[in-house]
Structure 1
Amino acid sequence: MSNYSAEDIAKRAAVAARAVAKLTTDEKNQVLQRMADAIRGDKDAILAQNKIDLEEGREKGLAESMMDRLELNDERIEGMASAIEEIIALPDPVGESYLLEERPNGMRIDKTRIPLGVICMIYEARPNVTADAGALCFKSGNAVILRCGREAIGSSKVIAAAMHKALKDSGLSEDVVTVVPSPDRELMGELLQQKDYIDLVIPRGGEGLIHYVSDHSKIPVIQHYKGVCHLYVDKDADLDKALAILINGKTQRTGVCNALEGLLVHADIADKFFPMAAKALAEKQVKVHACRNSIKHFEGAQLIADTDFGEEYLALEIAVREVRNYDHAIEHIEEFASGHTDVIITENEETARRFIRDVDSAVTMWNTSSRFSDGGQLGLGAEIGISTSKLHAYGPMGLQSLTTEKFVVTGTGQIRE
């Protein structure tokens, strides 16, 4: 693609999308298996390029959270290939149909699931998105345009080259999965104007990127500004269970949007739980930003003002607050959460059900780690993103979120009087 423009890229993807939409489930699954095999086969080339990207990232002083997302290794490459195989095993949503109604005049009204068409993914230092998005869009009958950030474009191009081998071997165009060859922001801006050819834009990255895309796009945008996930430890919580979920949610992997950023503890059990949490967080070298009522329990903690919660640290840091009661916890989440994932720890089912009803986040959890708020962990296969806006999807987005429904009306010659 030596000579290219945003319009050329979008037009070619639209043509490719029409071809993908005609494939059967078996045909798509065969191509996907070739993609998984090709990624495994090109592992050395992918790792070599990723090493270059990592070195350049260090020279630029990229944040640790971004370096973590950028880094590939044997396990993560196998994870990409395995995720594609998980997508193969998932039901194909395209063509799913159900009866909506039979009209009094004998007409049958069905709804049938169809691909969206062309998806444009805009992402930063996440080379694995190239494989995940490419496979998910393909299985759901779409073409995808991948605009990767400067930090990961080298790795993404090599991953895409492996997928292109599979497409070529299957008699399909490389335009089914397009990596935009330049991270130039002007070109991205032009892509966001291609409403005649691109059907949906999904940005994944920092809050600044999401705002830029949302402000400049003429195409519908799936938004996910940040992940400020909370753990609320209720007065009826199993404290050992709460501690394990806290440490897993905060420290298992910090630079991801489903990591915990806030801990809320009911006043009735604060004196029991905070010392447990303080010891465990200190062992993991987690920096604590504590409210005035809880700071006495955390050696070396930094006092946080009541107005300063809601930070997405993406690091070994967490904000801690003692809440007066359940209602105070909900008030805090309403003010400071991002609508991503919020968790309650309690043995009281009535309280848990109330929390699930009251908290208006894309994912609400009871007695389990926020780290499960992920498409793969929730049975969707690899996810293409997590939406914290309610149109057209909410929460982790898998295959079904990349389709829409059309009406199919079947008659026997009826005419409208």
Structure 2
Amino acid sequence: MSYTGAAMNVETKPVEDVVTIVAALGRRAKAAAAALRNAATEAKNRALVEAARLIRAEKAAILAANARDIEAARAAGMRSALQDRLLLNEARIEGMAKGLDDIVALPDPVGAEIERWQRPNGLAISRVRVPIGVIGVIYEARPNVTADAGALCIKSGNVVVLRGGSDSFHSSRSIVELLRRALETAGLPEDCVQLVPTTDRAAVGELLKAMDWLDLIVPRGGRSLIDRVTQESRVPVLRHYDGICHVYVDRDADAGMARDLVANAKMRRVSVCGAAETLLIDRAALDTHLGPVLARLHELGCEVRGDAEVRKRDAKALPATEKDWRTEYLEPIISVATVDGVAGAIRHIATYGSQHTEAIVTDNQATADRFLKEVDSAIVMHNASTQFADGGEFGLGAEIGISTNRMHARGPVGLVELTTYKNVVRGKGTLRP
């Protein structure tokens, strides 16, 4: 199947065509799944090595495709932060290829024995990791998801069907072509990675009810996409909602560390889900720590929205509203709230957080331990930037997303999290009485 044709137009493609397209994807996915599920690690790694080579060799073609997407996004008035998510450059393309290299170096989870035990009747029972099956990934503006999801699924033995957003269609299509070429070179079915070849939103609805061939759906995007998938899907969903990430600066924090860490957590890259959106400042640290932290943020071009105590100490701060505490800006804006110590920080996060990533800055180990124990988020950090909320930084090679689910997987979803297990029972003609 080739993806070199023009994207289908939402206004001109009838719904029945979308139904046919998605059904065909499902047939090919199921056919490819058996081969990939039983593929040797060496074959999967060979495909990924070739994919990394092709991404580097064909970076000019990827950049040209991305330029088409960026041009359309600008013409449509897309916000600059979202354009940053969409943008590819040579460094980001190298990052994609490096992510594939890292996945090659990781152990293959498929076939690994999780545990084994013996029953009094002689039965030997073990649990062995196996692929989930066929995974659908629905995402919006980040074309690097195409490479990350494709590579993680290949290595974990899962077929993946990608439905990228219309904003990143040309970029995603160019990357999928390379992944499919690499699979063919390695002797694996190219249909192990497929891209929904239409921007028609009706295709999402078809994926959400594809219970007969999809085993899991992973949505990556804004709140409206996550809400729609969660509410409508008949297929199990692995999701995260907003990345309303907090940094709490404690009275016992090193002031220089707090200044640098908050600046990095917010401003290193404002468009990622691990970017800090709210700064919590210990009331006891207002007159010692707040000034240097906000001065650095202002210097970097960050808008500050603060409560009354913050605005008393920072003439540049704008008033924060209740809505600010619940907002994932994905822009150079941060809300700043005064809290009464670590207990106040924990309460604020419990009230307004999205259970994604939270960090405490303190030299008091007991305070840090309380924060790490009592904050109920997928990722909790001590004296580290929230921007480390990333599968690559966790040593997973890449991620298919950050899960805020409580079932199956939580935090960065890498190779192991893309497997389930089966129970293997060995007997000796054992009969149940």
Normalising TM by the smaller chain, what interval?
A: over 0.9
1:57 equivalent to 2:70? Answer: no
1:365 equivalent to 2:381? Answer: yes
Q: What is the aligned counterpart of 2:225 among 209, 215, 218?
A: 209
C-alpha separation in 2, matches of 1:354 and 1:222: 29
Query: Structure 2 vs 1, CA of residues 302 and 135 (structure 1 numbering), >3 Å: closer, same or farther?
Result: same
TM-score, with structure 2 as normaliser: 0.94
C-alpha separation in 1, matches of 2:356 and 2:182: 35
C-alpha separation in 1, matches of 2:85 and 2:166: 13
Q: CA deviation at 1:194?
A: 0.8
Q: Is the 8 A contact 1:65 1:256 kept in 2?
A: no
What is the correspondence of 1:108-257 to structure 2 with a 5 Å cutoff? Answer: 108-257=124-273
Q: 2:58 is matched by which residue type in structure 1?
A: D
The unaligned stretches of length 5 or more in structure 2 are 3-16
What is the correspondence of 1:288-327 to structure 2 with a 5 Å cutoff? Answer: 288-306=304-322, 308-327=324-343
- 2:282 is matched with which residue? 266
Q: Is the 8 A contact 2:260 2:293 kept in 1?
A: no
C-alpha separation in 2, matches of 1:168 and 1:323: 57
Q: CA deviation at 1:307?
A: 6.3
Q: What is the aligned counterpart of 2:95 among 79, 96, 100?
A: 79
Q: Is the 8 A contact 2:250 2:342 kept in 1?
A: yes
Q: CA deviation at 1:358?
A: 0.3
Give SS of 1:130's match: helix
* Residues matched between the structures, number: 417
C-alpha separation in 1, matches of 2:324 and 2:245: 15
- 1:387 is matched with which residue? 403
Deviations 1:52-84 (Å, cap 9, x if unpaired)?
110000000111121001111111111111100
Q: Is the 8 A contact 1:123 1:204 kept in 2?
A: yes
Which has the higher mean CA deviation after the structures are superposed, 375-384 or 94-103? 94-103
Give SS of 2:167's match: coil
C-alpha separation in 2, matches of 1:39 and 1:246: 34
Percent identity (aligned): 46
C-alpha separation in 1, matches of 2:109 and 2:413: 13
1:7 equivalent to 2:31? Answer: no
C-alpha separation in 2, matches of 1:156 and 1:134: 11
Q: 2:291 is matched by which residue type in structure 1?
A: P
- 1:414 is matched with which residue? 430
Give SS of 1:271's match: coil
C-alpha separation in 2, matches of 1:63 and 1:238: 36
Deviations 1:110-162 (Å, cap 9, x if unpaired)?
10000001010000011111111000000000100000100001111111111
C-alpha separation in 1, matches of 2:429 and 2:363: 60
C-alpha separation in 1, matches of 2:324 and 2:189: 51
Q: What is the aligned counterpart of 1:356 among 344, 364, 372?
A: 372
- 2:295 is matched with which residue? 279
Give SS of 2:337's match: strand
C-alpha separation in 2, matches of 1:395 and 1:278: 29
Q: CA deviation at 1:278?
A: 2.2
Q: CA deviation at 1:163?
A: 1.2
What is the correspondence of 1:327-366 to structure 2 with a 5 Å cutoff? Answer: 327-366=343-382
Which has the higher mean CA deviation after the structures are superposed, 233-242 or 378-387? 233-242
C-alpha separation in 2, matches of 1:292 and 1:11: 59
Q: Is the 8 A contact 1:254 1:315 kept in 2?
A: yes
Give SS of 1:19's match: helix
Give SS of 1:5's match: helix
The unaligned stretches of length 5 or more in structure 1 are none
Give SS of 1:221's match: coil
C-alpha separation in 1, matches of 2:38 and 2:316: 61
C-alpha separation in 2, matches of 1:249 and 1:60: 30
Q: 2:117 is matched by which residue type in structure 1?
A: E
Q: CA deviation at 1:24?
A: 1.0
Q: 1:309 is matched by which residue type in structure 2?
A: W
Give SS of 2:54's match: helix
C-alpha separation in 1, matches of 2:66 and 2:324: 37
TM-score, with structure 1 as normaliser: 0.98
Q: 2:133 is matched by which residue type in structure 1?
A: G
Q: CA deviation at 1:21?
A: 0.9
Q: Is the 8 A contact 2:43 2:188 kept in 1?
A: no
Which has the higher mean CA deviation after the structures are superposed, 368-377 or 271-280? 271-280
Q: Which runs of 4+ in 1 moved over 3 A?
A: 1-4, 305-308
C-alpha separation in 1, matches of 2:323 and 2:46: 54
- 1:17 is matched with which residue? 33
Q: 2:93 is matched by which residue type in structure 1?
A: I
C-alpha separation in 1, matches of 2:33 and 2:408: 20
Deviations 1:363-385 (Å, cap 9, x if unpaired)?
00000110111000011111010
Give SS of 1:119's match: strand
Query: Structure 2 vs 1, CA of residues 99 and 401 (structure 1 numbering), >3 Å: closer, same or farther?
Result: closer
C-alpha separation in 1, matches of 2:313 and 2:176: 50
Q: Is the 8 A contact 1:251 1:284 kept in 2?
A: yes
Deviations 1:211-252 (Å, cap 9, x if unpaired)?
111111110011211100000111111111111100000111
Q: Is the 8 A contact 2:44 2:186 kept in 1?
A: no
Q: Is the 8 A contact 2:324 2:335 kept in 1?
A: no
